[in-house]
Amino acid sequence: MLIGCTPWPDDVAQAYRQRGLWRGETLGDLLRRDPDATAVVTATARHTYGELSARADRIAAGLAALGVRRLDRVLVQLPNTADFVTTCVALFRLGALPVLAMPGLRLAELRHLAEHTDAQVAILPEVWQGFDHRELARDLVKAVPALHTVLIAGTAEEFTPLSAVDGDPVELPPADPAEVAFFLLSGGTTHLPKLIPRTHDDYAYQMRATAAAVGLDSSSAYAAVLPVAHNAALGCPGILGAFQAGATVLLSRSPSPDDVFPLLAAAGDHPLLVTTLMPALVPLWRESAAAYGTDLSRLVVEVGGSVIDLDTVRAFDSETGCRVTRWFGMAEGPLCFTRPHDPAADRLANEGYPLSVEDEYVVVGEDGAPLPAGEIGELLVRGPTTLRGYYREPDDNARSFTADGFLRTGDLASIDVEGLLTIRGRTGDVINRGGEKVPAGLVESRLAEHPAVKMCAVTGVPDPVLTEKVAAFVVPQDAAPTLAELTAFLRAAGIAPHCFPEHVVIVDRLPMTPVGKVDKKALRLDA
């Protein structure tokens, strides 16, 4: 396995293979299905499997001509477009490793990812949702001199257009199924994101098992409304699971009903449609379904990522005829969810059962000892899709994993006598803003550099729609900074917009705990 990654123990990996979970599949084969079948539908185009597979072969040859080799890390920040599909599959076939960055990330995060992975190539869009990624690319190449090649999907200006990355297909050696296929980003860190290595073996199993659980097959369609660089929309079953099944993928520019509902209406006569939503979007979809007259009765909606308003979800489920399933998941691999065939009361009551019979879920107390059924503690997970270590993070791995390989999720949970999981909250200092994880420590460290800030603390405050909003408590040097000033400062520092504080509270001092740490519980009470 790639140096810097932690493999599963040999005996554990062999057991997963013997039990038919890991089958030696590789992700480069995903588009090798019926060449005439529809693979991708967007608002403006349809693409067949044959068309996309041929383009992926040509991109792979073009990247090889640029010097990209097996196990090279390539920074990929592409939105929900066919370019994302063909680029990632090309890299899978070449044996290079996409480092998947959400479109909303900015310079601070991308610089960290490029430096941490030694990436020499980055692939970005021209403009997405009003933001010019070419400006970001200019700042990025200045900050990371080793990043010698930038490819732009669209009008490239001084960079190389992705469309020019082309070559006659060449025979490539097959990838090792046990090797890393790509990197996802952690959502639970309090600082810059950690890198999550996902192998061909474990991700192919995750996609296959989640597709089977929701009933997705070649007659179905998956609607990607969240960013496809997110694990939920990528492989739960997501777009890659849909390709594995030979299904159709609907790529939406955004989760707004204005973008999604016309796409669903134009999808064709699929007996089953599957999509994934953050809970904050459910009220909007509920209100818009009637206004649009959109039939959602064929739709299975996977909902998770933050606190769920059960009354709203129940109403959405019953009024539209869709089937909502509740999900708990992490890019690190753990997946636990209710199934579409469960009765509505069971589907909506909790986070359901683990994906695999080989998954081990344990709730422990502060002393690390397992707790009885029903008691609340930290959730630990080990299994065939759950990583054994972050990439190049030996110190963090020592904190994040037990000696026997369990991931400390940082989630507070309980498991009842029947094995049903209920998520109760977070142990760490991470703000959950509508399903987007805001690393409080990162925002604090940047705000502390502002000349008007003497001390600061960032925390989440309750919000009925987003679950939490970001609040900054500031002890000023002299004149108090305004929200607009701090926002501009964070934007200039390359911080992602979803991390910007929505409230600034000026205080004379920050409350402290007896051990000298900022008392964020007290701050939240004062917000």
Last residue of a domain, one of 112, 141, 174: 174
Alpha carbon 44 to chain centroid, angstroms: 25
Last residue of a domain, one of 113, 145, 174: 174
Backbone angles phi, psi at 256, to 5 degrees: -65, 135
Residue 296, in any domain of the structure: no
Q: Which residue has the tokens 């994993």?
A: 401
Which has the closest alpha carbon to 237: 265, 215, 269, 263? Answer: 215
Average pLDDT over residues 430-436: 87
Radius of gyration for the chain, computed over Cα atoms and rounded to the nearest angstrom: 23
> What letter does residue 521 receive in the DSSP assignment?
H
Window from 214-228, 361-375, 435-449 with minimum mean pLDDT: 435-449
Quick count: other Cβ atoms within 10 Å of Cβ 135?
A: 12
Residue 421, in any domain of the structure: no
Average pLDDT over residues 162-172: 97
Task: Give the separation between CA 426 and CA 520, rounded to whole angstroms.
Answer: 14
Residue 131 domain boundaries: 27-174
Task: Give the separation between CA 253 and CA 128, rounded to whole angstroms.
Answer: 9
Instruction: Burial-class residue 3 by CB neighbours within 10 Å (0-12, 13-18, 19+).
Output: exposed
Task: Give the separation between CA 312 and CA 467, rounded to whole angstroms.
Answer: 14
Last residue of a domain, one of 149, 174, 199: 174
Quick count: other Cβ atoms within 10 Å of Cβ 183?
A: 28
Confidence of residue 308 (pLDDT cuts 50, 70, 90): confident
pLDDT at 189 over 60: no
What's the mean pLDDT when you consider all of the chain? 95
pLDDT at 515 over 60: no
Confidence of residue 518 (pLDDT cuts 50, 70, 90): confident
Contact by Cβ (8 Å): 507, 519: no
125-144 per-position pLDDT tens digit:
999 999 999 999 999 999 99
Looking at residue 513, its pLDDT comes to: 65
Preceding peptide of 372 cis, ω within 30°: no
Find the CATH number of the domain harbouring 448: 3.30.300.30
CB contact set of 299 (below 8 Å; sequence gap of 6+): 264, 273, 274, 275, 320, 322, 323
Residue 453, in any domain of the structure: yes
Work out the angle between the directed axes of helices 483-492 and 440-447 (0-180°, nearest 10). Answer: 100
Residue 514, in any domain of the structure: yes
Residue 305, in any domain of the structure: no
Residue 68, in any domain of the structure: yes
Looking at residue 392, its pLDDT comes to: 98
Residue 390, in any domain of the structure: no
Confidence of residue 191 (pLDDT cuts 50, 70, 90): confident
Looking at residue 188, its pLDDT comes to: 53
Residue 503, in any domain of the structure: yes
Window from 5-9, 151-155, 186-190, 269-273 with minimum mean pLDDT: 186-190
Average pLDDT over residues 20-41: 98
Looking at residue 516, its pLDDT comes to: 59
Find the CATH number of the domain harbouring 154: 3.40.50.980
Average pLDDT over residues 324-338: 97
Backbone angles phi, psi at 490, to 5 degrees: -65, -40
451-510 per-position pLDDT tens digit:
999 999 999 999 988 989 999 999 999 999 999 999 999 999 999 999 999 999 999 999
Confidence of residue 311 (pLDDT cuts 50, 70, 90): confident
> What letter does residue 481 receive in the DSSP assignment?
P
What is the value of pTM for the model shown? 0.89
The share of the chain scoring above pLDDT 90, in percent, equals 84
**Domains in the chain, number:** 2
pLDDT at 112 over 80: yes
